């Protein structure tokens, strides 16, 4: 009896120690709601606010960017005596594909693309559609409908709430009204420039017959390659060393040569063609990199760590 009374407290203490160790181990190994809520991909508001600031640790050794919400990578090559640059982007949430105007709608204000990108903490950005400089077309920015004056001569690009690119080929007012009737609630951004270059993986047949087709120039296009996956294709122009530029038809061939491109749309080119990364314009002749523009399309981080 005396031996049992002596060892019982020791056994109890050992059991308590073991239980405490098991609890501590469980806290380390089991999922914690607090841990998961500390960092997450958020949905950004549909307005002209910016994204989550890019993280310094997100910039990769190969010159791209990656965090849990977005990846950006670059590649380059040469086509028909002209250098090209391509930027691929993959995001987690459709709200990460965004736009920003240089000033209030109706204002002729222009700002350098790099400054606009910095304003909204963009991971990467490109120029938009020249909408400041004409009074026609279909213009929507971040869910705000500004203009509905289609000409029937310009292709329209629409980015919807799922982050998908949709192209309307030279819609007139009736065609656009019908599209709005069925899809208006899903429209986030719309652009009037063009032309559309690729639809359903095929180059548009009449792209060779458009105005200024034979002008060799800097050109830039936005393409979709999959769900929330995009490719920007840019070609240098005659003012770049060792490049002659591409006609619109040649540019369509270049864009169509990327096997992952499902749909692609030409945006404002020439010296306005803009790709911004790390708050700097990285394309075009150095003398033209200060060119101001009226708007940007940008890709934002949505990885919230605090």
Which residues, listed in sequence order, are joined to residue 189 by a DSSP beta bridge? 159
Same domain, 79 and 25: no
The verdict on 8 and 77 lying in the same domain is: no
In tens, the pLDDT along 132-175 reads 888 999 999 999 999 999 999 999 999 999 999 999 999 999 99
Question: Is 35 a domain residue?
Answer: no
Across the chain, mean pLDDT equals 90
Judge whether 39 lies within some domain: no
| Domain contains 36 | no
Q: What is the DSSP string of the chain?
A: -HHHHHHHHHHHHHHHHHHHHHHHHHHHHS--HHHHHHSEEPPPPSSS---BPPPGGGB-TTS-EEETTEEEEEEEEEETTEEEEEEEEEESSGGGEEEEESSSTT----EEHHHHHHHTT-SEEEE---GGG-S-EEEEETTEEEEEE--SSS-EEEEETTS-EEEESS--HHHHHHHHHHHGGGEEEEEE---EEEETTEE-GGGGGSTTTT--B-EEEEEEEETTEEEEEEE--TTSTT---B-HHHHHHHHHTSTT-SEEEEE--GGG--EEETTEE-SS-GGGTT-EESEEEEE-B-EE--
Is the model's pLDDT at 32 over the cut of 90?
no
Reply yes or no on whether the pLDDT at 213 is more than 90.
Answer: no
Q: Could you give the number of structural domains in the chain?
A: 2
Q: Is residue 178, in this structure, part of any structural domain at all?
A: yes
Whether 13 and 78 map to the same domain: the answer is: no
Q: Residues 280, 250: one domain?
A: yes
Same domain, 24 and 84: no
224 and 185 within one domain: yes
Residue 30 pLDDT greater than 70, yes or no: no
Residues 18 and 141 grouped into a single domain? no
Same-domain check for residues 24 and 149: no
- pLDDT score recorded for residue 38: 73
**Domain boundaries, position 25:** 2-30
Shared domain for 286 and 213, answered yes or no, is yes
Residues 156 and 228 in one domain: yes
Do 151 and 233 reside in the same domain of the chain? yes
* Paired residues of 159 in beta bridges: 165, 189
Tell me, yes or no, whether 218 lies in a domain.
Answer: yes
pLDDT digits (tens, 9 = 90+) for 159-169: 999 999 999 99
Q: Are 92 and 117 within one domain? A: yes
């Amino acid at each position: 009896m005396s031996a049992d009374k002596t060892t019982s407290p020791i056994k109890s203490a050992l059991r308590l120690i073991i239980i405490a160790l098991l609890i501590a181990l469980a806290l380390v190994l089991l999922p914690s709601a607090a841990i998961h809520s500390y960092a997450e991909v958020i949905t950004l508001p549909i307005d002209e606010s910016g994204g989550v600031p890019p993280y310094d640790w997100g910039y990769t050794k190969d010159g791209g960017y990656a965090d849990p919400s977005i990846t950006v990578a670059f590649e380059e090559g040469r086509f028909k005596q002209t250098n090209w640059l391509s930027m691929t982007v993959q995001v987690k949430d459709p709200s990460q594909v965004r736009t920003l105007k240089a000033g209030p709608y109706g204002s002729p204000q222009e700002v350098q693309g790099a400054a606009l990108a910095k304003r909204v903490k963009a991971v990467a950005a490109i120029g938009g559609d020249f909408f400041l400089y004409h009074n026609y077309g279909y213009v929507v920015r971040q869910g705000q409908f500004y203009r509905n004056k289609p000409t029937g001569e310009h292709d329209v690009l629409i980015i919807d709430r799922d982050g998908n690119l949709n192209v309307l080929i030279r819609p007139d007012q009736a065609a656009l009204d019908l599209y709005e009737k069925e899809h208006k609630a899903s429209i986030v951004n719309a652009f009037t420039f063009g032309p559309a270059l690729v639809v359903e993986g095929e180059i548009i047949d009449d792209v060779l017959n458009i105005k200024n087709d034979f002008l060799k120039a800097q050109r830039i296009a936005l393409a979709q390659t999959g769900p929330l996956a995009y490719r920007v294709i840019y070609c240098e122009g005659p003012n770049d060393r060792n490049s002659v530029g591409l006609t619109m038809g040649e540019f369509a061939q270049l864009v169509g040569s990327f096997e992952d491109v499902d749909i692609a749309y030409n945006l404002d080119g020439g010296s306005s063609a803009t790709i911004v990364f790390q708050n700097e314009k990285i394309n075009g002749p150095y003398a033209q990199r200060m060119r101001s523009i009226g708007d940007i399309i940008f890709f934002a981080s949505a990885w919230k760590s605090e």
